């Protein structure tokens, strides 16, 4: 009878797991941090000494992460062209509920809603105007974009500052699911706003510990002698970024490209151009390219013509050039500058948004992502089973994998104590006809970290190089069963076009990803790499710090270079901090209060943090 009950229980569990395995075991979540903003140079907000005058115009076209200080006081939003969908012109300001340092406003508060990001204009001189001058402030807004849609409580506001210093509401809209950019016309009629220091401010309400309430704004115009029907924009502008020279990868080593340039090169470049006129517009559009290092012309300017439909976004194409430069070094970095431009004799709008320069980078990695993360990718894991993510790559000639670069999303609590392994396969069971997994290499243990390089990836150097033949291989991560059901979060580039080459495994079988986007993991090939998080010889904490004894029953102590005071943190396998404090070199720490089991320990001295280590409490 007992055996029958056990059998029935197993059947029930399998029936419960079966639909779960078929349904979503992979998920997209908020980033929780903006890595590019976090490592950008600090900027102080300041007002201009002289008030601006009308007309005021901003379409956020440019390559800076922050708003133009000549027009804006603060920099809590960031400028990009990846978090939006079909903007009026290239570049938007994104309100992501993260502060000016790219972090949650309150990491410890999950449910509190309040004003978060703001975008405040420099003072504008309205002293000479009256309501009879018919001032209108117009702009376009879009909820969600490539992020997550704001809920009804995640309200978006426009405020104006009156002469007595108070901010008064001028317009607001509740959160909603993704919509196309919508134009808003706001009349400025309050006489208390007609003074020489008037300012306007966009601000959103959002939860303080999430980045899942996205608002984008674009094309702000403020001028006199307008009316509510003055909605036409006489401008033609690029909308999306051009596609890459490569047809699948976004980047690869130049030596790999040169083995098969015809197979790797896309036949066309595609651009999206927005005709904001109410009537069709004829244009001339062009393209040119050069090698940045040598100045070699890869494509002399070529011009094409087209007629754009009224109030429409239209895709244009240019033939991809076939010119290359010689391979001077097998490991050298090569950058092609690709310049796209629009010309029209009838367009009277801004000219800055008529040109886009987008570089094609050939370096020591393979990538499907464009270097920006709009969301995080994670798995639903089971406490007793490991979870695995593996991405398919191809080589045109034999090469050597020296490490992996990974972009991590932020989790709460922070996942720095969670171990994972990097795995390289030549085959995955059930994928491309393979009957079994063929594991080539495992780098273990690894700990997640945030990037200390210009592109914010965290770099893991392999203990042993992995030789790879030409053809297909797979590389990714394995999260062990001891991590519980809490998956690591990985950067997810939602602008990826085409299949994402991702496979995941949470129930002992590989499944193709059904989510649109590229998981941001990059195999590093050829030359030696330097691991992230390695401290310099001058810093007092390095990877060489030690714990003794281990295992331990009642006391432990740390030894580390230098004689400064260190802070320590001990967490259990679920990420909960169970013991913390300060210590000095060799001083005993009492751990008798801890129950028997495995823990993770880390120390920091003078702001420099080591790499977490495992200990076993007897």
- Least Cα distance to 134 among 196, 199, 188, 183 occurs for 188
> Does residue 165 surpass a pLDDT of 90?
yes
Residue 560, CB half-sphere, CA atoms under 13 Å: how many? Answer: 31
Q: pLDDT band at 559, cuts 50/70/90?
A: confident
Q: Residue 419 contacts by C-beta under 8 Å, 6 or more apart in sequence?
A: 444, 445, 446, 447, 480, 482, 483, 614
Output the DSSP codes for 392-407: EEEESS-EEEEEEEEP
CATH 2.60.40.1930, the chain: domain bounds? 546-617
> Does residue 454 surpass a pLDDT of 50?
no
User: pLDDT higher for 415 or 595?
Assistant: 595
Q: pLDDT band at 261, cuts 50/70/90?
A: very high
Q: pLDDT band at 389, cuts 50/70/90?
A: very high
Consecutive H or E run containing 618: none
> Does residue 14 surpass a pLDDT of 60?
no
Q: pLDDT band at 539, cuts 50/70/90?
A: very low
Other Cβ atoms closer than 10 A to 477: 23
| Residues 332, 362: Cα–Cα separation, whole Å | 8
Residue 542 pLDDT: 42
Q: Which residue do the tokens 């980033």 mark? A: 31
Range name among 163-172, 510-519, 560-569 with the lowest pLDDT average: 560-569
- Least Cα distance to 547 among 607, 606, 609, 600 occurs for 600
Query: What average pLDDT does this structure show over 577-587?
Result: 83
**Tens digit of each residue's pLDDT (9 = 90 or more) over 61-73:** 988 889 999 999 9
Consecutive H or E run containing 2: helix 2-22
- 387 within 8 A of 420, measured Cβ to Cβ: no
Return the percentage of the chain with pLDDT > 90, whole number: 60
> Does residue 23 surpass a pLDDT of 70?
no
Longest dimension (CA), the chain: 93
User: pLDDT higher for 218 or 207?
Assistant: 218
Q: pLDDT band at 187, cuts 50/70/90?
A: very high
Range name among 47-61, 360-374, 511-525, 569-583 with the lowest pLDDT average: 569-583
Query: What average pLDDT does this structure show over 572-584?
Result: 75
DSSP bridge pairs for 93: 79, 217
Torsion of CA 224, 226, 231, 236, to 10 degrees: -50
Question: What CATH number has the domain spanning 381-525?
Answer: 2.60.120
Residue 112 pLDDT: 75
CA 434 to each of CA 329, 438, 522: distance values in angstroms, whole numbers, following the listed order: 36, 9, 23
CA 572 to chain CA centroid, Å, is: 29
The 8-class DSSP code of residue 541 comes to -
Query: What average pLDDT does this structure show over 298-304?
Result: 93
User: pLDDT higher for 75 or 452?
Assistant: 75
State in words which class domain 546-617 has: mainly beta
Residue 7 pLDDT: 35
Query: What average pLDDT does this structure show over 519-547?
Result: 70
Other Cβ atoms closer than 10 A to 596: 9
Average pLDDT of the residues of the chain: 86
Query: What average pLDDT does this structure show over 516-536?
Result: 83
Query: What average pLDDT does this structure show over 579-590?
Result: 86
| Residues 580, 588: Cα–Cα separation, whole Å | 13
Q: pLDDT band at 601, cuts 50/70/90?
A: confident
Residue 217 pLDDT: 98
Q: Residue 22 contacts by C-beta under 8 Å, 6 or more apart in sequence?
A: none
Q: pLDDT band at 576, cuts 50/70/90?
A: low
CA atoms 42, 44, 45, 51: torsion sign:
negative
* Most confident of the following: 237-246, 272-281, 423-432, 478-487: 423-432
Residue 15 pLDDT: 29
CATH 2.60.120.260, the chain: domain bounds? 35-223
Rounded to two decimals, the pTM is 0.81
Return the percentage of the chain with pLDDT > 70, whole number: 87
| Residues 309, 138: Cα–Cα separation, whole Å | 24
Consecutive H or E run containing 190: none
Q: pLDDT band at 111, cuts 50/70/90?
A: low
CA 62 to each of CA 81, 91, 123, 299: distance values in angstroms, whole numbers, following the listed order: 10, 7, 22, 24
CA 460 to each of CA 521, 527, 582, 604: distance values in angstroms, whole numbers, following the listed order: 11, 14, 29, 21
* Most confident of the following: 310-324, 340-354, 543-557, 569-583: 310-324
SS (H, E, C) 113-182: EEEEEEEEECCECCCCCCHHHCEEEEEEEEECCCCCCCCCCCCEEEEEECCCCCEEEEEEECCCCCCCCE
The 8-class DSSP code of residue 410 comes to P
Q: Which residue do the tokens 């060799």 mark? A: 586
Residue 17 pLDDT: 34
> Does residue 4 surpass a pLDDT of 80?
no
Residue 437 pLDDT: 96
Residue 103 pLDDT: 79
- Least Cα distance to 493 among 386, 375, 378 occurs for 375
Q: pLDDT band at 133, cuts 50/70/90?
A: very high
Paired sense of beta strands 135-143 and 182-188, if any = antiparallel
Q: pLDDT band at 558, cuts 50/70/90?
A: confident
**Helix, strand, coil % in the chain, rounded to nearest 5:** 10, 40, 50
Query: What average pLDDT does this structure show over 192-219?
Result: 92
Output the DSSP codes for 227-268: -TT------EEEEEPPPPSBSS-SB--HHHHHHSHHHHB-SE
User: pLDDT higher for 109 or 312?
Assistant: 312
Q: pLDDT band at 208, cuts 50/70/90?
A: confident
The CATH homologous superfamily for domain 236-362 is Immunoglobulins (2.60.40.10)
Q: Residue 471 contacts by C-beta under 8 Å, 6 or more apart in sequence?
A: 394, 395
Output the DSSP codes for 57-87: EE---SS-SS--TTTBS--SSEEESSS-SS-
* Most confident of the following: 329-338, 408-417, 455-464: 329-338
Residue 537 pLDDT: 33
Question: What CATH number has the domain spanning 35-223?
Answer: 2.60.120.260
| Residues 566, 533: Cα–Cα separation, whole Å | 18
| Residues 577, 118: Cα–Cα separation, whole Å | 34
| Residues 168, 24: Cα–Cα separation, whole Å | 45
Residue 611 pLDDT: 65
Residue 265, CB half-sphere, CA atoms under 13 Å: how many? Answer: 14
- 353 within 8 A of 91, measured Cβ to Cβ: yes
Range name among 277-286, 332-341, 419-428, 552-561 with the lowest pLDDT average: 552-561
Q: pLDDT band at 546, cuts 50/70/90?
A: confident
- 51 within 8 A of 124, measured Cβ to Cβ: yes
Q: How big is the chain by its Cα radius of gyration, in Å?
A: 27
């Amino acid at each position: 009878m007992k055996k029958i009950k056990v059998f029935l229980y197993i059947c029930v569990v399998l029936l419960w797991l079966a639909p779960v395995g078929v349904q979503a075991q992979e998920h997209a979540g908020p980033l929780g941090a903006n890595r590019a903003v976090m490592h950008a140079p600090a900027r102080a907000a300041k007002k201009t000494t002289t008030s601006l005058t009308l007309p005021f115009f901003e379409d956020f076209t440019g390559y800076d992460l922050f708003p133009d200080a000549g027009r804006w006081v603060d920099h809590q939003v960031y400028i990009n062209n990846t978090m939006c969908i079909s903007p009026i012109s290239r570049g938007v300001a994104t309100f992501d509920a993260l502060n000016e340092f790219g972090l949650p406003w309150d990491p410890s508060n999950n449910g509190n809603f309040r004003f978060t990001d703001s975008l405040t204009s420099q003072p504008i001189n309205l002293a000479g105007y009256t309501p009879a001058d018919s001032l209108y402030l117009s702009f376009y807004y879009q909820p969600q974009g490539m992020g997550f849609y704001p809920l009804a409580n995640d309200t978006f506001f426009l405020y104006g500052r009156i002469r007595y210093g108070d901010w008064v509401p001028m317009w607001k809209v509740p959160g909603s699911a993704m919509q196309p950019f919508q134009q808003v016309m706001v009349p400025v009629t309050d006489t208390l706003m007609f003074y020489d220091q008037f300012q306007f401010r966009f601000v959103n309400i959002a939860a303080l510990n999430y980045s899942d309430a996205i608002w984008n704004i674009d094309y702000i115009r403020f001028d006199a002698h307008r009316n509510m029907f003055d909605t036409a924009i006489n401008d033609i502008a690029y909308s999306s970024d051009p596609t890459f020279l490569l047809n699948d990868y976004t980047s690869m080593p130049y030596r790999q490209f040169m083995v098969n340039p015809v197979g790797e090169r896309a036949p066309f470049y595609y651009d999206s151009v927005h005709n904001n006129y109410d009537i069709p517009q004829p244009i001339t559009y062009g393209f040119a390219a050069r090698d940045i290092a040598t100045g070699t012309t890869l494509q002399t300017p070529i011009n094409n013509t087209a007629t754009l439909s009224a109030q429409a976004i239209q895709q244009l194409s240019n033939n991809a050039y076939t010119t290359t430069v010689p391979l001077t070094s097998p490991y050298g970095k090569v950058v092609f500058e690709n310049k796209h431009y629009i010309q029209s004799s009838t367009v009277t709008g801004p000219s800055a948004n008529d040109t886009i320069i987008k570089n094609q980078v050939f370096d020591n990695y393979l990538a499907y992502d464009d270097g920006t993360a709009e969301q995080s990718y994670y798995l639903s894991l089971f406490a007793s089973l490991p979870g695995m993510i593996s991405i398919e790559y191809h080589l045109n000639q034999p090469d050597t994998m020296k490490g992996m670069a990974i972009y991590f999303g932020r989790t709460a609590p922070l996942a720095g104590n969670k171990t994972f392994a990097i795995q390289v396969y030549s085959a995955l069971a059930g994928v491309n006809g393979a009957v079994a997994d063929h594991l080539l290499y495992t780098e273990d243990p690894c700990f997640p970290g945030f990037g200390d390089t210009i592109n914010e990836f965290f770099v893991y150097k392999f203990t042993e190089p992995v030789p790879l033949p030409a053809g297909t291989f797979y590389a990714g991560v394995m999260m062990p069963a001891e991590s519980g059901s809490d998956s690591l979060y990985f950067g997810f580039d939602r602008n990826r076009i085409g299949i994402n080459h991702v496979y995941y495994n949470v129930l002992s079988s590989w499944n193709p990803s059904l989510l649109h986007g590229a998981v941001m993991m990059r195999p590093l090939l050829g030359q030696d790499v330097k691991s992230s998080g390695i401290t310099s010889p001058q810093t007092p904490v390095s990877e060489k710090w030690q714990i003794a004894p281990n295992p331990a029953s009642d006391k432990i102590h740390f030894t580390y270079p230098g004689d400064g005071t260190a802070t320590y943190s001990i967490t259990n396998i679920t990420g909960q901090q169970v013991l913390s404090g300060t210590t000095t070199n060799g001083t005993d720490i009492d751990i008798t209060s801890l129950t028997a089991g495995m823990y993770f320990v880390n120390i920091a001295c003078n702001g420099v943090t080591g790499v977490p280590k495992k200990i076993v409490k007897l």
